[in-house]
Amino acid sequence: MSKKRGKIVVELAQFDVLGDVLDSLGLKSRLFCRSELAAPWVIHFGGADAMHFHIIERGTAWLEVGAKQPARALAPGDVVVVGRGQGHRLSDQPGRSDLAPIIFPDPPDDGRCTVVRHGQAGGGTVMICGSFAFQHAAGHPLLALLPRLMQIKSASGPSRAWVGPVARMLTAEAAQMRPGAQTIISHLTDVLFVQVLRDWISDGAAAPGWLMALNHPQIGPVLAAVHERPDAQWTVERLAARARLSRTAFSARFAKVVGEPARKYLMRLRMQRAANLLAQGPLSISDVAESTGYESEAAFSKAFKRWHGKTPGEMRRDTGPASPLR
């Protein structure tokens, strides 16, 4: 008698929508400074197009964002991310106004980390500072949803156990700068950004919108499908069927959860994908049209100009390498 064999089940993980969006936005993270600071000290960061992050390695610091917000205490292992355009101060005491702020030198273009020492050697506070920038920042709801400040405290329990390892590896690499450190730091800072987003979403701090939609039982699979195959001939009816809802119920649910109609979301996704493909090359305009779900180059060019305000050829000449334009 032959033995009954167990059934093998193979399941493919759902398409990573957040990863796809971060790739399309052109996330560029970097660590630009490690500071060793003896009190008294104040550091000022002007509002920038990038987001800034700070990790306290040793000692304490106080963070002030805006004149009307109370200062926040930062402890060793804490990670804080300050939103785009938000000027802020870090200091050894809250409300310091009797000192001129420390001025950082401009970060090197080659991505190397600068070391800043203030006061006596072995000063009380050591921290690392970096940034998250986006090459293609315009047009996606993700950036509009991000808050002006995200703070992850190192002593917040097992759900945030990633803070310690990532922060320790970053600070160690920044302190020692051994061969290959820049490559490791680049990857770790990317990990840091994704983990901060995950933490913010799981903590329930995120407002209803695109980020929360990623985990929605009906809308999440729809987002995964259109991001995986933006070239497919999607209709509202097909999307509703994937969500197992009627057309009317799906349209209302999608708009409520995501914050915009499904048709508009799909159009934005395709137009962003098209702009990225044109900038990267070497696909022809007709190939880009096909890759984003258009059966004719003429229909694609018309939709592209209506969305971006310029033709695909003009976009490629402005942002991309020389490539065929048939």
Residue-wise pLDDT tens digits, 297-312: 999 999 999 998 999 9
More confident residue, 110 or 44: 44
**CATH 3.20.20.140, domain 216-319, yes or no:** no
Q: Note if the pTM is more than 0.85.
A: no
- In percent, the amount of the chain with pLDDT more than 90 equals 32
Q: Could you state, in order of their start, the residue ranges of all structural domains in the chain? A: 17-202, 216-319
* b/e map 182-198, b = 16+ CB within 10 Å: eeebeebbbebbebbbe
CATH 2.60.120.10 fits 17-202, yes or no: yes
What is the tens place of the pLDDT at every residue in 143-154?
Answer: 777 888 888 887
Strands, sheet with 72-74, edge to edge from the N-terminal-most edge strand = 42-45, 88-91, 61-65, 72-74
pLDDT tens, 263-273?
999 998 899 88
pLDDT value at residue 7: 67
- pLDDT value, residue 320: 58
Q: Where are the beta strands (DSSP E) in 38-148?
A: 42-45, 51-58, 61-65, 72-74, 79-82, 88-91, 114-118, 125-134
Question: Helices marked H in the chain — which ranges?
Answer: 17-25, 141-145, 163-176, 181-202, 210-213, 219-228, 236-243, 247-258, 262-280, 285-291, 297-308, 312-319
